[in-house]
Amino acid sequence: MSPSPARRRVAVIGTGAIVSGSHLPALRHHADRVELVAAVDVDQARLDAFRQLAGEDVAGYTSTGEMLDAVRPDLVLIGTPPSLHREQTIAALKAGAWVLCEKPLCLSLAEYDDIAAAEEASGAYASVVFQHRYGSGAVHARELIASGELGTPLVAHCQTTWHRDAAYYAVPWRGRWATEGGGPTMGHGIHQFDLLLHLLGPWTEIRAMAARLVHDTESEDVSTALVRFENGALATVVNSVLSPHEVSRIRVDCADATVELTHLYGHRNDDWIYTPAPHVPSERATAWRTPAADVPSSHTAQLGGLLDAYDNGVRPPGSGPGARVTLDFAAALYKAAFTGQPVHAGEIAPGDPFYPAMHGDHPHWAPKERA
């Protein structure tokens, strides 16, 4: 038998709630495959608190560059505010490390292409956290849809209706294009429509609307879209932070079945419901119900997939063109909403105002100069 791969040396950049609450448990779950060796945070008190939680043998740094030079980790996990993602991801790639970064990986398609160039130069890869793809229920649903077992996809609905108050937007980097990259389209609903794209495959056309209805932000607090997919299916997408009853939902109506997912911040097998069409025999529908294993959607599941790719020397899931399509969808939604015109997949390229910034320098949406 071939020897097991060595444990990968991991560093985290950012030690706030998402890293301590999601990335650290994922690392502990995969402790036979990874070793957390370093942490970076500009806030010394927060860094010290994280090291007490993670283990005093984890080296602490307040500079990303200093950590990368001293530690040379195999894998870097990034959980900082969005405006820092591009710079930190490229720095880690240049140091030869693979990257798993919180969403959004960056703030624009232009920044994404900068990261792709850094990947090409380094031979390392950068993945974005889209953990809802990796639960066993999502894997099972995708296989059923892709195989044609549920019949031709026809109609879909993707809903992220959450609630965020004024205190949430009092955090200085939130609600601003330069620091968050957008509103609920980029910061909240992106998880659900990434899963929708993962289930249904390439999209071709989008029409959209966006508004600021409650919050005093540069970006939107609600957006809606109509989407056409390459397979002919039509879908609606809703992204909101104005909704008192919070829910995340995907529904796909195929010729032979409806598949529905209802959850909030994560799903298990029981959150997926299959309803057969009247003409479908019960024994066929029974086979759709439940995968053998029940793997929750989580950072733990995605990290496992990334480590598998690392061990096999292949591009990890959630990276490259497979992740760029989700950012392209977000940019297209903004362009369609702000211009009032339909947008087609892949049309936003260098020279398009929505390529370097999600607001597209639109006069009603671009950042205003502050006094």
pLDDT (tens place) for every residue of the chain, 371 residues total: 555 668 999 999 999 999 999 999 999 999 999 999 999 999 999 999 999 999 989 999 999 999 999 999 999 999 999 999 999 999 999 999 999 999 999 999 999 999 999 999 999 999 999 999 999 999 999 999 999 999 999 999 999 999 999 999 999 999 999 999 999 999 999 999 999 999 999 999 999 999 999 999 999 999 999 999 999 999 999 999 999 999 999 999 999 999 999 999 999 999 999 999 999 999 999 989 878 899 999 999 999 999 999 999 999 999 999 999 999 999 999 999 999 999 999 999 999 999 999 999 999 999 986 54
First to last CA, the chain: 67
Query: b/e for 216-251, b at 16 or more Cβ within 10 A?
Result: ebbbbbbbbbebbbeeebebebbbbbebeeeebbbb
Res 291: pLDDT: 84
- Angle, CA of 10, 15 and 19, to the nearest 5°: 70
Q: What is the pLDDT of residue 371?
A: 42
pLDDT of residue 236: 98
Q: Are 129 and 105 in contact (CB under 8 A)?
A: no
Look over the chain and give the mean of its residue pLDDT values, rounded to a whole number: 96
Q: Look up the pTM and report it.
A: 0.96
State the amino acid at position 77 in one-letter form: L
Query: In this structure, which amino acid lies at residue 320?
Result: G
Q: How far is CA 194 from the centre of its chain?
A: 7
